[in-house]
Structure 1
Amino acid sequence: MDLTGLDIIDAHIHQWDPHATPREFSTLAKLMRYIPLPVDIAAKLAPRRDRQFVGDPTAYLNPYLPANYRSDLGATPVSSIVHVEVEWDGAKADETRWVASLPFGVDTPVLAAIVGSADPAAADFGAVLDAHQSASPQFRGIRTMVAHHPDPDIKSFAAHDGALTAPAFLTGFGRLAERGLSFEAWVYSGQLPEVTALAERYPEVPIVLDHLGTPAGIFGQDTGRTAAQRRGLFERWCDDLTDLAAQPNVVAKVSGLMMPVLGHPVPRRGTTTPVSTLVDRVGPLLGHALAVFGADRLIWGSNFPIDKPITTLSGAAETVATGLTDAGAGPEDLRKVFGGNAVRVYRID
């Protein structure tokens, strides 16, 4: 599909330098600089759940900065980007300050908005939000790492589920409304009812569902080993997404659909999955998302470099555009999904 007629906002990318900034994967990245061990051999020493989540660890072991994004972008007509927090291991506002200092807008797309990290359950949550806002005028909201999966073979980013409905979390969450900030919800699909409950409790807070709720294993592996398991996972995801879409303060990102944790086979490094194959896989997810959220409440993001082991950046965009078109989206719908809705949700000038 030709994307040249679209003015695209990539509403979900990550920037990092594990060698020079504090990331949860910085220790491993620094170690690999000095140990003369091939990356594929070193990866075998990591837990299986980590290997399956990343697919190819190369991106995590090296900086991913504006020049890297520009290289991955190729001819895809992206005019601006939204950075979303990623495992910063230090004062959370420092990541916002660091991202704002990167050379976006020189020979790269413009940095339009920043989603930082903060935990509403923390006693200093309000102060952390104020620090983010002081760090950059592009700060628009937060993401809290609450993704948890009951299967120990699937990587979790929280110690347990229920974080979104815990009393301390709910008490602090109101501070987002006080400041006119949004909340980015990245969860596994089994946690979608928690997002629905949160949206019901705080209808005044814009909530962005990342990656359509990440139904891990839906294309195979672990929770999706059999056809019956995959069908059951899809049916529950459909029901829970429908319930969530009934909350008018929620929008959903058609992003992260090429994450290895969904069960995509990882192609050999240097190759990529054909777009037609990806459309066949993710098409039913895109069709249901379009049906329940409508084109006015879907936002595209590449999720690069997380999705890079499976596809190219242009391939990620083309897959979503084709899948939505096959599901009935027209040119005006695509303009909303690939840019217009992000302008509204992230209050982009």
Structure 2
Amino acid sequence: MADVARNVRRVEPKIWHAGHVVTLEGILPGIVDAHVHYFHPTRSAWALQRFARLAQGPARFAPAPVLRLAAKVGAVEDRRYRIDPSIMAKPYEPAQYTADTATLARVAGVGITNIVAVESHWRPAKSPAELMESSLTEVAYLESLPDGAAAPSNGAIVAAADPRVEGFGAHLDRLVATAEHLRGIRFKWAHHPDPAIFDWRHQSDTVASRDFLRGFEQIARHNLAFVSFSYSHQLGYLDALAREFPETTIAIEHLGVPVGVFGPAGVETGMTASARAEILNLWRERMAMIALRPNVVVKVSGVGLSVLGYGMGTAGSIGSRAVLADMIGPLLVHVVEHFGPDRVIFGSDSPVDRPNSSIDMTVGAILDVLGGRGDYLLRQLFAGNAQRVYRLG
């Protein structure tokens, strides 16, 4: 891992670690975490649908021990999505998130005040129709979770949906009616040429299809943000979408997910230093290009995803805050310099990132890299931009 970090530092001069501790105390009252996944393996709709077969009937009627066993079996399958199985068979709700953020104030000077609950359909639906029904159930579940008091406020919901499905407009109307806090639609269209990197869609250009564009008009009609999960080589298609719908906010998740930028990923990606440099350079070009679209924002999230090239494991592959800062530093600097302080949004990607990077470690590393760039950037990155994009009260 140290060798990988040294390779990255040769590409971008090390301009962080100013020799003093930077916190957010006095800059903002609290952090808005714009990417949190709440779920329950025996309540979340996507999980129940997958467990119904093992339960030999409708999963909601199965005994709890059967569902717990099914959850563990399903978690093993999730290795192919590069999600650590240790987090998949247990609930992750406001109580667990509050525990994960309990010591954050020691690192950041402030805690979390609001979160954006992002859909957690980590297993692809069997059909678009199944996804739509599951999404409706999920937003109802998210709306039912405790809000405020002992946990951060659930300020907004980003729901799963497929704009290509027939009748998408009517489905979106139902979602809006169901979820008071609905502020965005997330569509996972990631596709990679490496056969060992998981594909969410069969083509790289899904967002350019006629059916998708027709459905996207309904997202624009409802003034919802579009949250995009793709890999970095696909960003050219997203650029075209942003040009066609200039009034709709488009959020690029997880810094654009440059697969293999830090080290080997899959079976043929990022295997050499020159290959990683090529991935980084292509990512730079694509991000600089799409930064010209004023309706596009970038989520500084997913920094602990193993698919970036931290190693073939799904846990413990980064090691320390200093290593993480050195790895992600060039990416953060590039994004801030091209998108500016008003189009970057922090998200912890909890609990998916936790096996590689706790929230404390993630926030600390970001502060190490960007802490010397002024209070305004920090205020916007950690709260202001999320409040605007997701219309938080």
Take 1:19 and 1:347, find their aligned partners in 2: how far apart are those partners? 31
Q: Percent identity?
A: 38
1:208 counterpart (226, 244, 251): 251
1:10 counterpart (8, 27, 33): 33
Measured against aligned partners, the alpha-carbon deviations of 1:256-295 in whole angstroms (never above 9, x if no partner) come to: 1111111114789689721100000000000100111011
Which residue of the partner structure matches residue 271 of structure 2?
A: 225
* Cα-Cα RMSD: 2.6
2:281 counterpart (235, 245, 251): 235
Which residue of the partner structure matches residue 70 of structure 1?
A: 98
2:390 counterpart (334, 346, 349): 346
Which residue of the partner structure matches residue 173 of structure 1?
A: 216
State the shift of 1:321 in Å: 2.1
Take 2:31 and 2:121, find their aligned partners in 1: how far apart are those partners? 26
Query: 8 Å contact 1:114–1:138 — kept in the other structure?
Result: yes
State the shift of 1:47 in Å: 8.4
Question: SS at the partner of 1:111?
Answer: strand
1:287 aligns with 2:333: yes
Unmatched segments (≥5 aa) in structure 1: none
Question: SS at the partner of 1:103?
Answer: coil
Change (3 A) 1:345 1:34: closer
Query: 8 Å contact 2:114–2:155 — kept in the other structure?
Result: yes
Take 2:314 and 2:159, find their aligned partners in 1: how far apart are those partners? 33
Take 1:96 and 1:268, find their aligned partners in 2: how far apart are those partners? 28
State the shift of 1:33 in Å: 3.6
Take 2:190 and 2:313, find their aligned partners in 1: how far apart are those partners? 26
Take 2:228 and 2:93, find their aligned partners in 1: how far apart are those partners? 24
Take 2:335 and 2:79, find their aligned partners in 1: how far apart are those partners? 31
Which residue of the partner structure matches residue 196 of structure 2?
A: 153
State the shift of 1:3 in Å: 3.6
State the shift of 1:127 in Å: 1.4
Take 2:316 and 2:261, find their aligned partners in 1: how far apart are those partners? 25
Q: Bigger radius of gyration, 1 or 2? A: 2
Which residue of the partner structure matches residue 352 of structure 2?
A: 306
Measured against aligned partners, the alpha-carbon deviations of 1:195-254 in whole angstroms (never above 9, x if no partner) come to: 101101111111111111101111112311110111000000000000110001101111
Aligned residues: 340
Which residue of the partner structure matches residue 184 of structure 1?
A: 227
- How does 1:1-80 map onto structure 2 within 5 Å? 1-5=22-26, 6=28, 7-23=30-46, 26-27=50-51, 33-34=68-69, 43=76, 46=77, 49-50=80-81, 53-54=82-83, 56-76=84-104, 77-80=111-114
Question: SS at the partner of 2:388?
Answer: helix
Question: SS at the partner of 2:274?
Answer: helix
Which residue of the partner structure matches residue 7 of structure 2?
A: none
Question: SS at the partner of 1:12?
Answer: strand
Query: 8 Å contact 2:310–2:318 — kept in the other structure?
Result: no
Which residue of the partner structure matches residue 120 of structure 2?
A: 86
Unmatched segments (≥5 aa) in structure 2: 1-21, 56-64, 105-110
Query: 8 Å contact 1:267–1:309 — kept in the other structure?
Result: no
Instruction: Give the TM-score of the pair, scaled to structure 1.
Output: 0.90
Question: SS at the partner of 1:23?
Answer: helix
Question: SS at the partner of 2:172?
Answer: helix
- 26-35 vs 121-130, which deviates more? 26-35
